Structure 1
Amino acid sequence: MPAHVLSHASGGRDLWSDPLPSRPEDPETAVRELLGEVLDPELPVSIVDLGLVYGIEVEGRTARIAITFTATACPCMEFIEEDVRDRLLREPWLDDVDVEHVWDPPWTRERITPAGRKALKRLGVAS
């Protein structure tokens, strides 16, 4: 599995790993790892490490992703959703990605992972 991408000036798309050669035994875990490559457009920290991913289900060749945002008026919602779809649809074992926006429970800083806190600290952003 790829390591979490924490920072890159281009938004990280050119750092995305190559597609997996086949459907993994645990597709939900694989999808979580792949989403670790998707960076928040405003902060070069993965959406997984920011705690924006609320749920992952893989049924057949469809991934269902429940995500939230740091604010209901987040200007990056469309960019993040597009990156989630684009990253996952690179995988030959996925044909469709459904992204659901979840607002309850609301996102809080407590959802940030230890790796995310470390990345934010390196960026000089309080977490």
Structure 2
Amino acid sequence: MVKEDAIWAALEEVDDPEVGANIVDLGLVYHVSVSEDGTAEIEMTLTIPECPLADEIVGQVKEAVASVPGVHEAKVELVWEPRWTPANMNDQAREEIKAHRASMQQ
């Protein structure tokens, strides 16, 4: 049986390329579940509904989750309620964003 912690760990490896922080620290992932047959379901959002990189991010999520041993299928549902706000981010994401912005300015 796949543990949800393994899915969360895999999701921490997926960065939002525009923001420079991973999607878990950004608070974009709302729910993770794994069925007995190894199907992982991820409910998540994006920073904005019009995100031009939505397909890329969803693809990376599916790839990361599918790499977890025991996962046979990864399903991603994008949701828009509750709406994402910067208050969803943890302190790690704030630090990663600062570092990302500083590197972009050099």
Q: TM-score range by the shorter chain?
A: 0.7 to 0.9
AA matched with 2:15: L
* TM-superposed deviation, 1:123: 2.4
Normalised to the residue count of structure 2, the TM-score between the two structures is 0.88
Percent identity for Structure 1 against Structure 2: 36
**Aligned residue pairs, count:** 101
Greater than 3 Å deviation, 4+ residue runs: none
Q: Does 1:35 align with 2:11?
A: yes
**8 Å Cα contact 1:32/1:48 also seen in 2:** yes
Distance 1:124 1:44, change over 3 A: closer
**Whole-Å separation in 1 of the counterparts to 2:65 and 2:100:** 27
1:93-121: CA deviation from partner (whole Å, max 9, x where unpaired): 00101101111110000001111011112
* TM-superposed deviation, 1:124: 3.2
3-state SS, counterpart of residue 93 of structure 2: helix
In structure 2, the gaps of 5 or more residues are none
More helix by share: 2
* TM-superposed deviation, 1:33: 1.1
The structure, 1 or 2, with the larger RCO (C-alpha pairs under 8 Å, 6+ apart) is 2
**8 Å Cα contact 1:41/1:79 also seen in 2:** no
More strand by share: 2
Q: Does 1:87 align with 2:82?
A: no
In structure 1, the gaps of 5 or more residues are 1-22
**Whole-Å separation in 2 of the counterparts to 1:119 and 1:40:** 11
1:45-96: CA deviation from partner (whole Å, max 9, x where unpaired): 1011111101100112010000101111111110010001111112230010
Normalised to the residue count of structure 1, the TM-score between the two structures is 0.74
**8 Å Cα contact 1:52/1:107 also seen in 2:** yes
Task: Give the 5 Å matches for 1:42-57.
Answer: 42-57=18-33
> Which of 40, 43, 47 is 1:66 aligned to?
43
AA matched with 2:20: P
